[in-house]
Structure 1
Amino acid sequence: MLPLNANQIPVMFNRAMGLARSGKPREALDLLAQMAKLAPTRAEIPFHMGQIHMQAGRPKDASHFLARAAELAPGEMKVWQAYAAAIAAHGDDAALKAAKARLKAAKLGARDRKAIAKAMQAVQTSTARVTTNVSKDEINALVGLVNAGHMAQAEAQARQLIATRGGSEILSTIHGAALASLGRTDEAEAGFRHALSIDPDYGEAAAQLGQLLLAEGRHQEARPFLLHARRLIPHNPIVLGNLGKLYQDLGSPTEAVECLDRLLKQDPDNRLALMTRAQAHLTLENAAAARADLDHLERLASPTGETLALGAVARKLAGDADGAHTQIKAALEADPNSLRVITIAANMLQQEGAMDEADALLRDALTRGVRSGAIYRMIAHGKKLAADDPVVTEMQDLWQRDDLPDEGRMDLGYGLLKVMEDTGDYDQAWHYLSRANEIMARRHPYGRAKAQRDFDKLRAFLDGFDPDRIGTVGFQDNQTIFVTGLPRSGTTLVEQILASHSTITGGDELSILHPLAFEAVAKTDRDGGTIADMTPAQLEGIGRAYQAAIDIRLPGAERITDKTISTYQIAPLSWLALPNAKIVALRRDPRDNLWSMFKNRFVTGLHLYTYTQSDLVETYRLFTEYLALWREMAPDRIYELEYESLVANPEHEVRKLLEFCELDWEDACLDFHKTDRDVKTLSLAQVRQPLYSSSIGKWRRYEAHLGEMLDGLKGLDGVPDD
């Protein structure tokens, strides 16, 4: 492809605006980023990038680009107004301070500068009322009824006003809120949609509709309405609270914390926000932050079973196993019938390898009438069930119910899959699995195009990578062993082998390096740079920040393993930031690997590509392209280990693995199944057994159903010929 030149900018700009208008913001941003490198002094480029980010509900990113636009066009009022709106929506004190400093040097009149400064600090929680159909007093009377909990009366009066006065965005929203509180959700949804048809920019209607859809579990439908509402009324508590919950439910805890921080800044004692943020911090394994929110909740009210259970998770995460056991016991005593408490307690036991105790706890819950798909799934996956086990009959009877919600059917399906596989009924196993995966794929769609764009952008960013820099930059005092690969490829097994060495502490999936690295990459890329422009100080800072996080998570550990799956996507950044770290990449026959992913339920929001055969094939193809690129860049820096070779000749392969990791031989590494440590992944049962080959070739049982996957894999790297 010929290099771009400045003469192409008008055509590219029009194309980018067309993409943005046609609902393709990511493509528009990618094109504008290319233009920014060609024409770094043209203010309209970062201005429109900022506007696109604002439309998508990302005020932090928007403020970065709009700050650049303001620097390039310091006298343009339109730019400053957009920048002020982004700063106000972001709500970050440091960003506000920096924006005010820029404003002082702006080429604006005193009156305009004052107006912009005021706009930067605006706390917009509601939309200005512009309806002409009803008076302010009538609206306030309706709102008073809603706030007082008189929903039936509010619904009747709002309905009468709509009938006599005609359509109104405000009346329809209030009517919808009353209907929702009365449980008439279909009518409520229609009311909110009618309000938005009258005024698409009525923030309260978008917020209420997003909240209703979220409460019904329709996360993907709720998201655009909540993001739209945040753009319109960025400090509205309903918007921030529901966006925080949405992000947490979808497996985006960092974004959840950002929203909930903004809400709790306004309302520090908001219990639901504190609870959700504590859960987000636990997902991020920020034990201290989670404990702080849970302690705050206990100061506001007596602890509940759920807060005690979450506190137990935080204590365990912080290394206080005894405290965790004491607290989970207290949680079960406080609320023995809470599904959340029961599943947290059972999960902790399963992680510790106490399968019989977990099974007893879950079955006891069933006898008390606490039933859910999650409990049945955990029982089925905890141990092998006999065909005549009463629990199996209960699961099959429950599956036949027409009123079984999607979430429950999904969990039940994965549980019944395991039962049918254990009894050798593979046709029935496929029946349950295909239905469960169909539900998951529909409720949590995967963005395949984004994964490809991310790879392409990273490859472009790595242009100019110099392997001679490895070892001359970065943080030298870290020897982490990263174990990476696709899920279900053997990463947990290899980490268990390494963690059985006397000098190694198993860290599990820490998920620390990726966000640190990509924050630095994003900053360099926004400024038009590549990896060659990342400074020694920047690279060392990434490594030091990683080590600091490890010191908090695993205090006193001499050397650790980090089994974060996504490490295979950022290998060159780890080489530069942590030059003495090692990367071990697992390879497995993709037919077995992809089948194993396809048949397992992962944590909501993670590995969304595992629920359709076509998404799995594309993910595997990208995985091989990542590894091929790393081999080309620095072939001696990543160790590829084949799962099948490890199973066939364990001592030979373990010796080679330890040699690469610069570890002395220890017999314990072959007796890894005797190592006593918590395992948090789906492989928690397998790593407590010696190596076995029975997992090889299991895809063949379902070959008749896997045609799409098998055809898609043909010709890809690493696919056997047989």
Structure 2
Amino acid sequence: MSAATPQPAATTDRRVSLPEAFALALRYQRENRLAEAEALLRRILHAAPRHAPALHLLGVVLHQGGRTDLAAELLRQAVDAAPDEALYRANLCEMYRLLRRLDEAVAQGERAAALAPDLALAHSNLGIACYDQGALAQARAHQERALALDPQLPAALNNLGSILRDQKDRPGAIARYRQVLALQPGHAEACNNLASVLTESEQPEAAIQLLLPLLQRLPDYAEAHCNLGTAFLALERFDKAAHGFRRALALKPDHAEACLGLAQVQQELGALDEAQAMAERALTLAPPKKCPPAHVLLGRIYNEAGYPERSRQAFTQALALDPTLPSAYLGRGHLSMELGDLQGAEADFRRALHLSEETPLGLLGARLALAQVDKVREGDENMAALVAEGAKIDELPELKALPLHFALGKCYEDTKQYDLAFHHYQAGCRLKRQRIDYSAERTESIGDAIRGFFSKENIDRLRGEGCASNLPIFVLGMPRSGTTLTETILASHPLVHGAGELHDIIRIAGNPCDSPNPPDDEPQAAGYPLNLQDITPAALQQMGRRYIAGLQARAPAAARITDKMPANFNYLGLIHLMLPQAKIVHVKRNPVDTCLSCYTRLFGRSQYQSYDLAELGRYYRNYARLMQHWREVLPPGAFHEIQYEALVADQEGQARALLDYCELPWDAACMDFHKTERSVRTASVTQVRQPIYQTSVEKWRHYEKHLGPLLEALGDLVPASYS
């Protein structure tokens, strides 16, 4: 049975003195009986309106109850009543900080520290207010002063950890957070902060082990849900990451970091419109010092969506706010590389390299980017640094070892050390394969469903007028098959705008009724093709119009626009029904060369079939079956086919045939495609900045002895010349 609620004014026949009433209120506050404490304190203040201790304690109670604005007003009244009481000013400093009244917070903190130089809490609260103003040096000095006065003050240790984290001293930050937890194992903020910095230190698994029990204890801790999402994002567990970010936003709708994290997940899943909206929302919510990462993410989103100028502006804005941000230089460098400015790209990558010296993963990202700009040569300083790092690769965290293996693979391939190159490619692929969810059986099942739905009879039944626009030219095929080269030749024509790899068809196919949440590159993400069972010719026409509207927004003045999403081979029949006047170009390449080129690339996202040789061979067979199906069920001339090897052997002849099919007049600029000024977002970006070369033809022979599982999976698709 519960005890009756104490009624202090009626517990005795005598009157309770103010000191006795205040002592009882203090006891209630310490026992977290906040409603009783508040009621008693208000009765005290009714009797003595300027009772400074009661004003102060009521402010503390209101803050504990989540009413920080009212708490600040009560603490201000306490300071007015007792202006020389340092503790009151120290706590008012914290209230003003929480309300983002930072100048007032610092002023109160400075006065508190001046009144009581030996009050550790005054220095600690002043330090965190300075931290929020971005004055890290002053913030650190005040926290260190607080700890000199009280070496076991948890707030100061926790705050110093956050300052050290911002100063890129992650080991120091981790040590301070662990000190807090040694003193107070249940200190939620220190636990959450430690998890965050562990994720930044390439230890997301350790972060998750801290956060899961914390959230069992405090299920409504929004910041911890956000950090859990960030840890899962680092592990590419996108479903769990999205859940963490969405839970944080449900608890705290103005959580800027959760918005930014969810935007990253949406970008990874190809939902670019949603990602852009969420990143822009993060910008409106974040304090200025937290904005640069949002600008960087927007830069990547704009670039992927086909808006390179907006992308450059976003990276420039990030660097204007924080000129020391490596990710902004890397983003701008990759954009410069895609636009053909290899010198500008190298300069930005080297700047990122210099700024990443304190962050191993960032340093590796910069070195990997430098290795991509050009062929690596023996004696190259960047290769030497990568090889030195590779000497301890087995001791490195997986997040760092994975890209390092691919970087070393490229270095050794460029220097013709093919066995060493394959060793690293294979090791990198094994690490990547462990991190992803991919099923060859599921891919084959989807291929069967696509062929089943798009039978000749069904295509004839659904064929209507469609959208009559001839604006699009689709370039599709396997990744690494020559689609980029083909698109770049087309984009060199003055009438053609090259839009690059667009997710538009994938989104429309997954959302035929224009509902939200567009899918990933894999068709099964939204039930395609089963979601088309009730589709009508009129609906297909409307889907075509939606696609054209999105295409025109990217280049309103262009006569023709290319869409080079390789995965559109899954949607070729749908494209034919939606856009019967569109031109479709299928690029083919030697199956073994194609698959090897996929296997030796660490893709930015998707392409999960690429990290196991046998699965890669099965994926290619599924693609080949689907392309043969389209040849059989679509009318002659529905799409044009180019053989990559024929294109590199006879560029002009193949280019003329391509332009004839696209109903474009011949233009000699198509022979100088490597000079075209346009963005190229693909793993082949540096190759299309050079004249056509034949070194990639039969490249697989260098690795032949290692490719048994691939050759077996490809079976009769291996070229006849192979014995």
Using the size of structure 2 for normalisation, the TM-score is 0.64
Match of 1:582 in 2: 583
Query: C-alpha separation between the residues in 2 aligned to 1:257 and 1:545?
Result: 28
Q: Deviations over 1:160-215 (max 9, x none)?
A: xxxxxxxxxxxxxx799976765699xxxxxxxxxxxxxxxxxxxxxxxxx99998
Instruction: Work out which of the residue numbers 261, 265, 289 in structure 1 matches 2:277.
Output: 289
Shift of residue 337 of structure 1? 3.9
Shift of residue 607 of structure 1? 0.4
Match of 1:393 in 2: 384
Is the counterpart of residue 301 in structure 1 residue 293 in structure 2?
no
Match of 1:487 in 2: 479
Aligned with 1:715: secondary structure? helix
Instruction: Work out which of the residue numbers 248, 256, 261 in structure 2 matches 1:276.
Output: 261
- Structure 1 segment 569-648 matched on structure 2, within 5 A: 569-603=570-604, 605-636=605-636, 637-648=638-649
Instruction: Work out which of the residue numbers 445, 448, 454 in structure 2 matches 1:462.
Output: 454
User: Is the Cα contact below 8 Å between 2:672 and 2:691 reproduced in 1?
Assistant: yes
Q: Which amino acid aligns with 2:281?
A: D
Shift of residue 428 of structure 1? 1.9
Change (3 A) 1:469 1:238: farther
* Rg comparison, structure with higher value: 2
User: Is the Cα contact below 8 Å between 2:339 and 2:679 reproduced in 1?
Assistant: yes
Is the counterpart of residue 412 in structure 1 residue 400 in structure 2?
no
Query: C-alpha separation between the residues in 1 aligned to 2:323 and 2:242?
Result: 29
Aligned with 1:458: secondary structure? helix
User: Is the Cα contact below 8 Å between 1:586 and 1:643 reproduced in 2?
Assistant: yes
Query: C-alpha separation between the residues in 1 aligned to 2:609 and 2:304?
Result: 28
Change (3 A) 1:149 1:312: same
Match of 2:137 in 1: none
Query: C-alpha separation between the residues in 1 aligned to 2:693 and 2:322?
Result: 41
User: Is the Cα contact below 8 Å between 2:591 and 2:717 reproduced in 1?
Assistant: no
Change (3 A) 1:222 1:561: farther
User: Is the Cα contact below 8 Å between 2:462 and 2:537 reproduced in 1?
Assistant: no
> Which is worse superposed, 347-356 or 483-492?
347-356
Query: C-alpha separation between the residues in 2 aligned to 1:271 and 1:462?
Result: 44
Query: C-alpha separation between the residues in 1 aligned to 2:371 and 2:300?
Result: 23
User: Is the Cα contact below 8 Å between 2:467 and 2:578 reproduced in 1?
Assistant: yes
Q: Which amino acid aligns with 1:392?
A: M
Match of 1:191 in 2: none
Match of 1:3 in 2: none
Instruction: Work out which of the residue numbers 319, 330, 344 in structure 2 matches 1:357.
Output: 344
User: Is the Cα contact below 8 Å between 1:465 and 1:532 reproduced in 2?
Assistant: no
Q: Deviations over 1:261-312 (max 9, x none)?
A: 77646533111122124445656443862663254145x4345432333344
Query: C-alpha separation between the residues in 1 aligned to 2:675 and 2:422?
Result: 34
Q: Which amino acid aligns with 1:343?
A: L
User: Is the Cα contact below 8 Å between 2:453 and 2:529 reproduced in 1?
Assistant: no
User: Is the Cα contact below 8 Å between 1:500 and 1:668 reproduced in 2?
Assistant: yes
Q: Which amino acid aligns with 2:625?
A: E
Is the counterpart of residue 374 in structure 1 residue 375 in structure 2?
no
Q: Which amino acid aligns with 1:489?
A: S
Match of 2:716 in 1: 715
Q: Deviations over 1:622-680 (max 9, x none)?
A: 00111111111115212221111111222222222122222222222222112111111
Query: C-alpha separation between the residues in 2 aligned to 1:533 and 1:312?
Result: 39
Shift of residue 608 of structure 1? 1.0
> Which is worse superposed, 625-634 or 533-542?
533-542
Match of 1:328 in 2: 315
Query: C-alpha separation between the residues in 1 aligned to 2:200 and 2:528?
Result: 39
Aligned with 1:570: secondary structure? helix
Change (3 A) 1:473 1:387: same
User: Is the Cα contact below 8 Å between 2:276 and 2:298 reproduced in 1?
Assistant: no
Shift of residue 688 of structure 1? 1.5
Query: C-alpha separation between the residues in 1 aligned to 2:603 and 2:571?
Result: 22
Match of 1:347 in 2: 334
User: Is the Cα contact below 8 Å between 1:291 and 1:314 reproduced in 2?
Assistant: no
Shift of residue 420 of structure 1? 1.5
Q: Which amino acid aligns with 1:693?
A: Q
Is the counterpart of residue 310 in structure 1 residue 294 in structure 2?
no
Shift of residue 342 of structure 1? 2.8
Q: Which amino acid aligns with 2:385?
A: E
Query: C-alpha separation between the residues in 2 aligned to 1:217 and 1:719?
Result: 48
Query: C-alpha separation between the residues in 1 aligned to 2:396 and 2:193?
Result: 23
Query: C-alpha separation between the residues in 1 aligned to 2:586 and 2:669?
Result: 22
User: Is the Cα contact below 8 Å between 1:508 and 1:563 reproduced in 2?
Assistant: yes
Change (3 A) 1:547 1:237: farther
Aligned with 1:450: secondary structure? helix
Instruction: Work out which of the residue numbers 487, 499, 509 in structure 1 matches 2:491.
Output: 499
Is the counterpart of residue 267 in structure 1 residue 259 in structure 2?
no
Shift of residue 511 of structure 1? 0.8
Match of 1:509 in 2: 501
> Which is worse superposed, 567-576 or 331-340?
331-340
Shift of residue 703 of structure 1? 0.9
User: Is the Cα contact below 8 Å between 1:282 and 1:290 reproduced in 2?
Assistant: no
Shift of residue 610 of structure 1? 0.8
User: Is the Cα contact below 8 Å between 1:240 and 1:263 reproduced in 2?
Assistant: yes
- Structure 1 segment 687-702 matched on structure 2, within 5 A: 687-702=688-703
Shift of residue 548 of structure 1? 2.3
Change (3 A) 1:152 1:649: closer
Query: C-alpha separation between the residues in 2 aligned to 1:346 and 1:527?
Result: 36
Query: C-alpha separation between the residues in 2 aligned to 1:416 and 1:461?
Result: 44
Match of 1:120 in 2: none
Query: C-alpha separation between the residues in 1 aligned to 2:595 and 2:528?
Result: 39
Shift of residue 417 of structure 1? 1.7
Query: C-alpha separation between the residues in 2 aligned to 1:587 and 1:320?
Result: 28
Q: Percent identity among equivalent residues?
A: 30
> Which is worse superposed, 649-658 or 552-561?
552-561
Q: Which amino acid aligns with 1:629?
A: H
Query: C-alpha separation between the residues in 2 aligned to 1:470 and 1:669?
Result: 37
User: Is the Cα contact below 8 Å between 2:295 and 2:315 reproduced in 1?
Assistant: yes
Query: C-alpha separation between the residues in 2 aligned to 1:590 and 1:431?
Result: 21
Q: Deviations over 1:70-127 (max 9, x none)?
A: xxxxxxxxxxxxxxxxxxxxxxxxxxxxxxxxxxxxxxxxxxxxxxxxxxxxxxxxxx
Match of 2:68 in 1: none
Aligned with 1:680: secondary structure? coil
Q: Which amino acid aligns with 1:409?
A: A
Q: Which amino acid aligns with 1:373?
A: L
> Which is worse superposed, 442-451 or 149-158?
149-158
Query: C-alpha separation between the residues in 2 aligned to 1:235 and 1:581?
Result: 52
Query: C-alpha separation between the residues in 1 aligned to 2:297 and 2:701?
Result: 41
Which structure 1 segments of 5+ residues have no match? 1-144, 160-173, 186-210
Is the counterpart of residue 683 in structure 1 residue 668 in structure 2?
no
Aligned with 2:642: secondary structure? strand
Using the size of structure 1 for normalisation, the TM-score is 0.64
Change (3 A) 1:691 1:320: closer
- Structure 1 segment 538-557 matched on structure 2, within 5 A: 538-557=539-558
